[in-house]
Structure 1
Amino acid sequence: ADWLLPYTSISTVLRPWLLAAPSGPILELGCGTSSLARELVADGFSEVTACDYSVVAIERAKSHHDGVAGLTFAVEDARRLSFGDSSFASVVDKGTLDAICTGEGYDYEAKLVGSEVARVLVPGGRWACLSLMPPSVVRPL
């Protein structure tokens, strides 16, 4: 199930924005059971990794999207990613920052996510953060 909006509702903005980024792999941060990564591959993005903190969500996503060329899944914590530096041209986060930043200390958690995204992005890479968080929280990241 998709959180926030389905790809069909955001593709007219997201697709050109991703195409303007350096060419290369895309990371979907906090995929849950969404079909976003599969839809990105279907829309011409040839290498997408979808990750989530939940083992159950990743297992379910794998079972629904098994065999899609160019699509891989990984169990990852957005605050401590295991990917190497400069591994992705773009990162797409559709509500993950919102889910992580609940309760006290959310600003610290947001900074952890922001620093990890910056670390795994190539120079000039792009982070598409679709969030309900106020711009005053998201922009500094």
Structure 2
Amino acid sequence: MDAAPTTSTDLGVLPEKNDEYGTKAYWERRYAQEPDSSFDWFKTYADLKPLLGRHIGGKDARVLMLGCGNSTLSGDMYSDGYENIANVDYSDVVIEQMRQRHRHQPRMTWDVMDVRALALGDGAVDVAIDKGTLDALMCDAGDVWEPSAEMCANVARAVDEAERVLAPAGKFVWITFGQPHFRRRHLERASWTIEVERLNDGGFDYFAYVMTKAAA
């Protein structure tokens, strides 16, 4: 039996600059130095179970985990009955680590993909989940009130891809620390509606943005 992965309680291999969080090179280096660790940004499945239960619907839903990293979220969801989960990340290192770590959960898939250019067909999933990936893309050296054109373009590509791969009436759930006046402008699309739910954690607020695509 494989040894259980350790869980990081700090930020591990810290970058010299915050904008490195948005680079593949940083994540490849970090995951290579933490081969047996797991880390969950913001929330665990235990925290998110009620929220996800309301929005995912049946446990046979086709779920896409965007920028899965070495989070415990997919594995915990699988154990709770959500077995149809496709995990993607642009780090070759972490995808191979997670593929091996979750061999006992064979219905999940693990593929190297950039969330800005998903190798999936239109309408391929019922629910897309992002827990921290867009936040990494938003780590920009510029002004938070006036982010750079490059950052905005990267985020727009990722959001457009999430919208494209969602089936009609599908949902994109983004868990973030980002407040609506900073984040909502990046999410506006004619094809969906946006709900924002505040997730309080002992005085610190996180937010769940739930984008529901129009039915066909």
Fold in common (TM above 0.5): yes
Indicate the SS of the match to 1:124: strand
Q: How big is the alpha-carbon RMSD for the aligned residues of Structure 1 and Structure 2?
A: 1.8
**Matches of residues 13-92 of structure 1 in structure 2 within 5 Å?**
13-19=51-57, 24-92=61-129
Q: Which one of the candidate residues 145, 155, 159 is aligned to 1:114?
A: 159
- Structure 1 residues 108, 134: CA separation in 2 closer, same or farther (over 3 Å shift)? farther
Indicate the SS of the match to 2:87: strand
Q: Which one of the candidate residues 139, 150, 153 is aligned to 1:102?
A: 139
How does the TM-score come out when normalised to structure 2?
Answer: 0.60
- Structure 1 contact 7–39 (Cα < 8 Å) conserved: yes
Indicate the SS of the match to 2:52: helix
Higher relative contact order (CA 8 A, sep 6+): 1
Runs of 4+ in structure 1 off by over 4 angstroms are none
Structure 2 CA distance, aligned partners of 1:65 and 1:32? 13
Aligned-pair CA distance for 1:106: 1.9
Aligned length: 140
Identical aligned pairs, as a percentage? Answer: 29
Partner amino acid, structure 1, of 2:179: P
Aligned-pair CA distance for 1:69: 3.0
| 1:129 maps to 2:174 | yes
Partner amino acid, structure 1, of 2:120: F
Structure 2 CA distance, aligned partners of 1:133 and 1:113? 16
Q: Structure 1 stretch 102-111 or stretch 47-56: which is displaced more?
A: 102-111
Q: Which runs of 5+ in 2 are unaligned?
A: 1-38, 141-147, 190-216
Structure 2 CA distance, aligned partners of 1:130 and 1:54? 21
- Give the structure with higher Rg (CA): 2
1:100-119 Cα offsets, whole Å, 9 max, x none, are: 12223222111111110011
- Structure 1 contact 53–77 (Cα < 8 Å) conserved: yes
How does the TM-score come out when normalised to structure 1?
Answer: 0.90
- Structure 1 contact 27–92 (Cα < 8 Å) conserved: yes
More helix by share: 1
- Structure 1 contact 34–61 (Cα < 8 Å) conserved: no
